[in-house]
Amino acid sequence: MSDYMNGKNREDHVVLLVHFGTVNIYQEKIGLTNMFEASRLFINSDIDEIREFKDRYVEKEFPQSSSSKQSCSQVISNVEEQFLNAGDFVFNAFISSIEVEKKVVIVGTVIAISNHKPWYYLACNHCKKQIEERSQLVEKEDGSFDVLDQNIIECTNGDCEAVDITPIHRYKIPLRVQDSTGTVSCTLFDYEAIKLFKKTAKQLLDVYTKVDSSTEGGFQTLPTEFDTLINRKFAFQIKVSSYNIANQSENYGISMLSSDDDILSALEKKWKINEVI
């Protein structure tokens, strides 16, 4: 799906049909969870279900329009539009001066990946927020303690009402991104990381735990797959959150990224990036 959606020659209007799968929407992003380990994905296939869906959708959303292509163009955006039509572009040196919560676009080169921070975290399978594992202790009459339960799992999201939490591994890769004005810390999360590496965090963790069990998957040793990011230029859409503003924290979450040459060239021309020293 990633290869298809990021292909330069893909069709403008894409319909995905999933057989044996669950679609989840989290923070305005759509994710797919396979079921029974036998999910099938049809992408703009010439089958009755997809043709009928397109007809129903266009008729419902744009009953006055005679052109399905023109109608769908009003509601379907792609990566190029997300970057090129963004109203807020900023250079690294000025991100910390932003005083309102917003998403902005930056263009920079990944110069380092921190090996002093974990590149993954354990997340709640319901809300995707980080979880905590702890042990429950019971005090005995002699003043000593017994461990009653060694695997109590709690979600750090106070709004999450899940009771059957299953920990899942998700990417949290700490990057240093540099442009002509300075360097900033950004964190690459699951959605974009999977598109880059074609593997989940759990799949990489399984490999590197076997290779180097002393680091439990890469707190000191980073997966060699990450080397492909170094000295590579990207356009980043990052989120300046209320936490960043209130705590003057200059570590920003990456919402989207692209290394497409056409996008980078268009952004550099639009914002005169190369003219800033």
Structure confidence at residue 64 as a pLDDT band (50, 70, 90): low
Of 165, 133, 166, 162, nearest to 149 (Cα)? 133
Same-domain pairing of 146 and 40: no
End-to-end Cα, the chain, rounded Å: 39
Same-domain pairing of 101 and 205: yes
Structure confidence at residue 16 as a pLDDT band (50, 70, 90): confident
Same-domain pairing of 243 and 207: yes
Same-domain pairing of 104 and 30: no
Q: What is the DSSP string of 194-251?
A: HHHHSS-HHHHHHHHHHH-GGGTTTSSSPPGGGGGGTTEEEEEEEEE-HHHHHHT--E
Same-domain pairing of 50 and 3: yes
CA distance 176 to 230: 10
Please report whether residue 74 resides in a domain: no
User: Is the separation of the CB atoms in 82 and 237 below 8 Å?
Assistant: yes
Specify the pLDDT at position 220. Answer: 52
Report the DSSP beta bridge partners of residue 149. 136
pLDDT per position as a tens digit, 116-158: 889 999 988 878 888 887 666 666 777 776 655 556 677 878 7
Cα–Cα–Cα angle for 194, 198, 200, rounded to 5 degrees: 55
Structure confidence at residue 217 as a pLDDT band (50, 70, 90): very low
3-class DSSP assignment, residue 152: strand
Same-domain pairing of 103 and 197: yes
Please report whether residue 67 resides in a domain: no
Please report whether residue 68 resides in a domain: no
> What DSSP character marks residue 9?
T
Q: How far is CA 134 from the centre of its chain?
A: 27
Specify the pLDDT at position 13. Answer: 73
The yes-or-no verdict on residue 23 having pLDDT over 70 is: yes
For residue 64, give the amino acid letter: Q
Structure confidence at residue 252 as a pLDDT band (50, 70, 90): very high
Structure confidence at residue 186 as a pLDDT band (50, 70, 90): very high
Please report whether residue 12 resides in a domain: yes
Q: What is the domain extent for residue 139?
A: 127-165
Whole-number mean pLDDT of the chain? 81
Same-domain pairing of 207 and 117: yes
Report the DSSP beta bridge partners of residue 169. 122
Specify the pLDDT at position 148. Answer: 59
Number of domains observed in the structure of the chain: 3
Please report whether residue 106 resides in a domain: yes
Same-domain pairing of 153 and 206: no
Specify the pLDDT at position 236. Answer: 96
pLDDT per position as a tens digit, 87-126: 799 999 999 999 999 999 999 999 999 988 899 999 888 7
Comparing 9-13, 84-88, 179-183, which segment has the lowest mean pLDDT? 9-13
Stretch 226-248: mean pLDDT: 95
Comparing 67-81, 87-101, 163-177, 202-216, which segment has the lowest mean pLDDT? 67-81
Non-local (6+) Cβ contacts of 125 within 8 A are: 162, 165, 166, 167, 168
Please report whether residue 57 resides in a domain: yes
Stretch 203-223: mean pLDDT: 67
Q: For 43, how many CA atoms within 13 A lie in the half-sphere containing its CB?
A: 10
Of 178, 177, 198, 180, nearest to 188 (Cα)? 177
Same-domain pairing of 159 and 249: no
